[in-house]
Amino acid sequence: MARVLLLVPASTYRVADFLLAARTLGVDVVIGGDGAAEMPDLMGGRALSLALDDPEAAAGAIVAADGAVPLDAVVAVDDRGAVAAALASQRLGLRHNPPDAVAATRDKLVMRGRLDGGEVPQPAYVPLGADAGPAAVADAVARVGLPCVIKPTTLSGSQGVLRADTVEEAVAVVERVRAIATCATDDSRPTLLLERFVAGPEVAVEGLLTDGELTVLALFDKPDPLDGPAFEETIYVTPSRLGPTDVDAVVTTTAAACRALGLTQGPVHAEIRVHDGRARVIEVAARTIGGLCARTLTFSTGRTLEQLVLAQALGRPLRTTRGRDRASGVLMLRIPRAGILAEVAGRHLALDVPGVTDVQITIAPGRPVVPVPDGDRYLGFVFARGRTPAEVEASLRGAEAVLDVRIVADPEVLRPRV
């Protein structure tokens, strides 16, 4: 039986779906990561404690463990394990991305540099070092233009990403983003990016790379405009309602971005803006779509996204990557304000909305919650299917309207502030 090591951060939602996929494919699983210690019963002792934030050390431990328990693939289920998975797979002679390519996707400044080198369309940008004061911010704005977006180089999930429309706003936003990045990473001197805001709709590309060739599995519309000041995502719906010319531009640009970054194997999740017939790269990640959003996707053979990822990592034929004909989508349930979650009421009402197939609340009552841009999590996910993307979107909005998020104010739940 083939054996896969899944690298699992403690905070991931994804373990259950990957374990189900492995069981369906007849694959043995070992769990590795800083979340492994919480799963000894689940895994029957087949768990490997790893420091995912130290990829070299984690890769060394994986190679050592392979001597006792041979592995056929190492798969990261989230961003934090991606570099360790690439390093370990390279050393073990397994299918892998070049580790430096994966590392480039984990640092937005390095990513931008590689995309520049490949002449891939992207926003104009200027890095802001830890010592960049108001004059340096003003100079960056003059070079990039307004409106602009300020973001940390190493965070994800829209955490710390804010728009500014004036120089004065940019100076204030830089200080706030620094505070968010410092709180989230313990880096007291974070590097930031100041980028030109790109107008137009944003789409998400879900794909698989095999020997450098990109297969697009799904193209998600984001029907709620992501214009700022924060960039919290809400609804994903597939298939996209973009016209054929725009779809071609998105796919071509995503493939060019993967080549420029040096990615060759495994899942890709990209965020692309389309404006005036031109696609620009906002983000590329060497992983699948985040949260539980992959549950929106089922392919014509009945396989799930997780099954495709595991099969591809093991070198098995994918048979087909064509999605089923019906439209589908997901609502990421936003945290409206900081505090303590009391409850999310109305789940039964949301499930009664035509087209809604499931409602999953992923934060337990009594837990502190912090909204984007200070936080990076959602309260849960609502899933829907229908005949058309418009029908799915209407179902998700109907479910959102009947869910009642109750949060208790608590001064101990602190958000980074200037």
Structure tokens at 333: 């349930």
Sheet order of strands, 266-275 included: 278-285, 266-275, 202-210, 213-221, 235-238, 327-333, 380-386, 356-361
What is residue 90's predicted lDDT score, i.e. its pLDDT?
97
What is residue 42's predicted lDDT score, i.e. its pLDDT?
43
Instruction: Let me know how many helices (H) and strands (E) the chain has, helices first.
Output: 12, 19
What is residue 44's predicted lDDT score, i.e. its pLDDT?
45
Structure tokens at 376: 């990076």
**Amino acid letter, 399:** A
- Chain Cα centroid distance, residue 22: 21
- Sole residue written with tokens 């728009």: 163
What is residue 31's predicted lDDT score, i.e. its pLDDT?
92
Cα–Cα distance between 102 and 83 in angstroms, integer? 6
Matching CATH number, 124-196, of 3.30.1490.20, 3.30.390.30, 2.30.110.10, 3.30.70.890: 3.30.1490.20
First to last CA, the chain: 55
- Sole residue written with tokens 């405009």: 225
pLDDT averaged per 10 residues, the chain (length 418): 91 86 94 68 65 94 91 93 96 95 97 98 96 95 97 92 98 96 88 96 96 95 95 95 96 98 97 94 94 86 89 86 81 95 97 97 94 93 97 98 94 56
Matching CATH number, 327-418, of 3.60.70.12, 3.40.50.800, 3.90.1170.50, 3.90.79.10: 3.90.1170.50
- Taken as a whole, the chain contains a residue count of 418
Q: How do residues 209-247 score in pLDDT, each as one tens digit?
A: 999 999 999 999 999 999 989 999 999 999 999 999 999
Under 8 Å between Cβ of 186 and 138: no
Under 8 Å between Cβ of 304 and 312: no
Cα–Cα distance between 135 and 139 in angstroms, integer? 6
From-to residues of CATH 3.40.50.20 in the chain: 3-103
Under 8 Å between Cβ of 162 and 149: yes
- Sole residue written with tokens 């390095």: 110
From-to residues of CATH 3.30.1490.20 in the chain: 124-196
Cα–Cα distance between 93 and 372 in angstroms, integer? 40
Report the DSSP pairing between strands 47-49 and 28-33.
parallel
What is residue 40's predicted lDDT score, i.e. its pLDDT?
44
Indicate the fold that domain 3-103 takes in CATH. Answer: Rossmann fold (3.40.50)
CA distances from 300 to 2, 235, 269, 311 (A): 24, 23, 21, 16
Q: How do residues 261-317 score in pLDDT, each as one tens digit?
A: 999 999 999 999 998 889 999 999 999 998 889 999 888 678 899 999 999 999 988
- Percentage of the chain beyond pLDDT 70 is 95
What is residue 156's predicted lDDT score, i.e. its pLDDT?
87
What's the sign of the alpha-carbon dihedral 9, 14, 15, 21? negative
What 3-state class would DSSP assign to 247?
helix
